[in-house]
A and B are shown apart, each in its own frame.
Chain A
Amino acid sequence: MSYAIETHQITKVFGDTVANDHIDLAVVEGHIHAVLGENGAGKTTLMRILFGEEMPNEGEIKIRGTPVTIHNPAEALALSIGFIHQHFTLVNEFTISQNFALGIEPRRNLVFCDYKSADRRSKEILDRLDMPLNLHVPVGSFSVEERQIVEIGKALYRGAQILILDEPTSVLTPQKIEKLLNILRVLRKEGKTIVIITHKLEEALAIADEISVLRKGRLVATLPRDRANREKVVRLMVGEEPLISLTKGTHAPGDTLVRVENLFVMSGGRRVVGRVSLDIHRGEIFGLTGVGGNGQTELVEALAGMRPVDGGDIRFDGRSVVKWDIRRRRLAGMAYVPENRVARGVAMTLPILDNLVLGHHYLPGFHRGLFLRRARLRSHANDVIREYEVVASSLDINAGSLSGGNLQKLIIGREFSLNTPFLIVAYPSQGIDIRTTKYVHSELIRRRDAGCAVLLVSGDLDEIFSLSDRIGVMYSGEMVAITRPEDTNRFELGNYMVGSRTKPA
């Protein structure tokens, strides 16, 4: 067996996090190789290294047996590696051939672009893929799945023999997924090597010749298809170690504070949250988990008031808040640590002070009519900085000058210090060091014991297990299970996360 790609001890570190930890991956020439893992397992980083978009800190890469160093995507292309990104890299205003030939246009008389010959080659490629697309309209007019095929075609046009696809099915409907998988089979028959990154187990089992599983930056196993089955792969994805429980007081929930009834949310014509109901009690941590992109984000945004709701009800302390804007919900007692921290959680160009008081500035005690009580806001901001150990020389320097971890602490500190009865925390340990994570966890438990209703969203099962009093798992916009940590285990949760509704036997 000859290998198209071999990596030896590839390691990539971002700040405090090890994204890839000594990975040895081997992809057989002419095979389809699926790389599975939860969000943050390191799949995309590894592929970006292969495509020259990141340089590894350690390790080496061999392409078709030859050791190489790939500094940039152009060098990857020269080694006939093509990467189909999750987000399309097409010029929407251009036609297919213009996109295919961008930067490598065939010339006529040295000056003019020869789109006729580009059209011929493009048509040939599309015919092979059995996709008779119109060559004379801008690609922006195509549907999502058509544009994805165009992306694949572009890589082929540029001579790719090795195709890497990053979560190609995450934007497709089930019928279109089948169509895409068929195209991949056609390409395999032509002798292409295909690496498909996915977190959907069914797809990997349906198409792959080998399956590699990444967990927390490590390659835990590579299985040939005939030795892989659903149960085995789920176990590899979620790990075997028993889930440790944090020392926390017994669960003594009060009455229901937040009630979600049959919530329904649409986005871009797609149903992203469907018929979700759940209760969160005072003095309870409700852990919401699932593979990323299954509706958790949208559910949280609807709860926070940042996304309109298309059906159902949200009740806070008995009152329907569906029509309330964020400010009203915050005034009623909500705090929210958002998932997308840099875009939503801070203003990089403003001083730390301004970043710490947003959301406080209209609460009682911090203003007198229109006038802000600036001294109080400042001393409050100082308290947060001290308590959450945000390393900053002054409140007056811009938030943009803080390190990533300190920004996280700033956001978490700001929202926790509101001391609200309802707290939404999305992915609290994302991007912070272990010490701060421990502090945040103990704070969450302290808040719970003080009677706060906490909605914790996380993809990290250890975090979910050790903190939650109840656990909800979302798949494809629905709440497929609500259970308790003492009634479940890693394997069962893993099964729910990949779409199984029933308890495994």
Chain B
Amino acid sequence: MIPEEAIRVGVSAPDWRAALLACGEVMVNAGIVDPPYIDQMIATVEELGPYIVIAPGIALAHAKPSPAVRRPGFSIIVLDSPVYFGHPENDPVRLIIGLASPDPHSHVQALAAIAEMLSDDSCRAALFDATTPLDVRRVLRSFSERGSCA
């Protein structure tokens, strides 16, 4: 559920809106969502606040299932410099996981696996340090094969 073209590293964005825009554009290019989903992701934060910043340095960008979602999928964006969402504890954010699902179920297993990976100190650190999309691929492979990136 993480297509090759949905991984981008070294993305520069001046603020959280630009970061979510970049994340959304990648998801559009990967065929996961249509452009209206990008505005829906930004509106989610505008309405409900920076609760999508789920851990130090990490945001889980998403909106609810909508006709703008083509298929369940994820993107992974590593920013070249971090942005502030206004979260009291977890700012600033360098890693954005984009999520879209056409329903409340299709993405659950993949999301669980991503959460497990982010819970692992070595994999989380390796994602923050990624300088190429291939580095991110290696982290994903390493975690699925060995449960660790050490």
- Pair from one complex: no
